[in-house]
Each structure stands twice: as C-alpha cells, then as structure tokens.
Amino acid sequence: MPPTGKFQRFKAVPAIDLIILPLYTFCYIKAICIFVIQMIKRNLKHTFSLLNVDYVRLNSKWNYRNVISPYYRIYYIDDGEGEISDAASSLKLEPGYLYIIPSFTLCNLGCSDYLGQFFVQFFEDSIDGSSLFANNRAVLKTKATEMDINLFNRLLEINPGRGINRSDNPQVYEKDIYYKEYQELNNQQNTSTYLETQGILMMLTAKFLNPQLFKSPEHKLIPVKIAETLNYILVNLHLDLSVQLLASRANQNVDYFSRQFKQHTGTRPLNYINEKRVERAQYLMATSRMSYSEICTQTGFDNLSYFSKTFKKLTGMSPSEYRKQMYQVGFNH
C-alpha cells in the first residue's frame, strides 16, 4: 500500500544517489573547510600582543608633541575633548568616536581641559615583518558603535590590572619592569582569554581598514627575489648587511638590484635597512632594559655614534630623548 498524507512527498532514492550525495556533501564540506583555513591563515598573518588597556580621565597635563611609539594606540572618547594630529591632519578628540595611531606614526596629543578616554595599546606581530599600516601611517577617526563600547568594556573585564598607574617620573619608570611584565602577563592568559583578546583587537583595528576610511595604495606584485630580500633583511638586522651582499643573494648586479629594490619599495636598500633597524631599536627600548650599546649591537649598527645619528635623522630625536618621551607619554597614553 503506497504511503499517504505528508509522507507522499518522499520518494525512494536510487542506490547510486546514496553514494553520490554523501560524496558531494563531503566535497562541499571539504571546500568550506579549506576556505575557512585559508581565511584563518590570511587573518592571522598579523596578530597582536596586548600592552595595556584602561579607562582614564585626563586633564591639561596630557599635552605631548612629536610622539612616536613602536606600538598601536586605539582610543574611544566618552567625555570632554582634546586634539590629536599628525603631519597631514588634525583631528578633534570628541565623545562617540574611535581613533587609531598606528605604530611608528609621529603625532601630537593634547587636552585643554578634561578628557574621558578608553585606551588600548598593543604591538603588532606578523610572520613576514610587514605592517597593516606600513603605507598609511596616519591618525584615523571613525564613528563608534555600541558594539565598540562593549568590546572595550569586555577587553577591560578579561584583562584586569593592565592599566598604567605608575609615577610619570622617567627615572622611576626605568626601574620598573612594566614593559617586561606585559609579555609575562600575555603568556599567563588562558587560551580562551588569549583568543578573545586577539578577536577584540582585530575587530577594533578592522574598523580602520574599511576601504572608505583606509586609503590603501594600489597593490603591486613584488618580484620573488625582492620579497625574499625584504624577509632576509628583517631576520638579519643584526648582521653586516651591504647592498653587495643582498645583490649577490639575488644573483643580480648591484645597480640593477638597487633599481629594482627602489622601484618596488619606494626607497633604496640602505635606507630601508636603516629604517627597519631604527624601528627595531624603538621596539627594544619599549620592551627591554637593554643599554644603548646592546641595542646598537642587536640592530646591526657599527657604533653608537652612527646609531645615534641615524636614529635622530629618522625620528627627529636622540635615543635618550626618545626613551624619555616614550616613558612619559606611556604613563599618560
């Protein structure tokens, strides 16, 4: 007797379909998994290390010029007003907005009266030494949403005690192990907190990578030999890197190699090397208690004099001036 009622819409499935359908399903799921894995790998090319996060109320003492740091800053303002500027523009710090200062971005910070500020500071890590904002180091501003506020509150909740509540005397600060502590605190995070922190930092940073806000230069394919050279430089900054050595590794003559390098990076090899060495020096000043001599050695400079001269040329201040400024601004965000 044939089935009746609602069961009439089901038909017998041929035996071959019982084999093919699961195969299609398996292939579809496999394709989805491959896609997800590729997306994860793409997204995790850049990861972040939390330095500190807090909510503070600032006053007119929060006034600093020519600030440059090896880490990112993101602010959410909920009260008062202030100002933040870089070489190209000046932005009003006002309630309801998010702001980002990418690493190694020269800027000025100021408050004439009072300012209520959520802030998070974090380092960027990447598998190839590149930076999301390498070609767009500028202060950016975007309207905050309720979700953004919730993300900041959640970041504070799962990372308690990560604010800056110390003396702003540089001599006192230098004796502190704060910047060393941040790595230990991150290592102590359980997997859940680590992943959630990464997710929140990525979501907040992604707000500023919106094509309408982020002016990304036209993507250009870099020849394999130049790309390999960039990676070699980043891994071997402490070594004696000459244009002759780099050209030899690429099996090219020096003149041709230099022209190719500048064409695809916008700068000459030695300039690029010095820029990356100074950036590494800035990072070491923020994350270690190394002496200038030790930093000089770690970054491949021949001597302290050349290190100081190059550092000042690229940052506008001497290593000691930079370290003092970094400590003072670090306390007051």
Q: What are the residue ranges spanned by the domains of the chain? A: 46-209, 224-332
Is 153 a residue whose pLDDT tops 60?
yes
Nearest alpha carbon to residue 139 among 48, 211, 73 = 73
SS3 content of the chain, % helix, strand, coil (to 5): 50, 20, 30
The torsion of the CA quartet 36, 186, 168, 283, rounded to 10 degrees, works out to -60
What is the Cα 158 distance to its own chain's centre?
Answer: 21
Q: pLDDT grade, residue 186 (50/70/90)? A: confident
- What percent of the chain has a predicted confidence (pLDDT) above 70? 77
Distance CA 242, CA 263 (A): 18
Nearest alpha carbon to residue 71 among 115, 116, 137, 117 = 137
Q: What angle do CA 204, 283, 287 make, to 5 degrees?
A: 90
Is 318 a residue whose pLDDT tops 70?
yes
pLDDT value at residue 3: 45
pLDDT value at residue 220: 63
Domain 46-209 indexed as CATH 3.30.70.3280: no
> pLDDT: is 128 or 186 the higher one?
186
Tell me the average pLDDT of the chain.
81
pLDDT value at residue 167: 39
Which stretch of DSSP H or E encloses residue 143? strand 140-143
* Tens-place pLDDT, residues 3-31: 444 444 444 545 555 445 455 444 544 45
Distance CA 292, CA 104 (A): 19
pLDDT value at residue 274: 96
Distance CA 137, CA 164 (A): 25
Instruction: For the domain made up of 224-332, give the CATH fold.
Output: Arc Repressor Mutant, subunit A (1.10.10)
Q: Where are the alpha helices (DSSP H) in the chain?
A: 15-43, 146-158, 170-175, 178-188, 191-206, 224-235, 243-249, 254-265, 269-287, 292-298, 304-315, 319-332
The torsion of the CA quartet 123, 118, 53, 108, rounded to 10 degrees, works out to 40
Q: Which amino acid is at 33?
A: C
- Phi, psi (deg, nearest 5) at residue 300: 85, 10
* Tens-place pLDDT, residues 36-58: 445 444 556 788 999 989 999 99
How do strand 114-126 and strand 46-59 relate by DSSP bridges? antiparallel
Distance CA 333, CA 322 (A): 15
Q: Which amino acid is at 22?
A: P
Specify the 3-state DSSP secondary structure of 108: strand
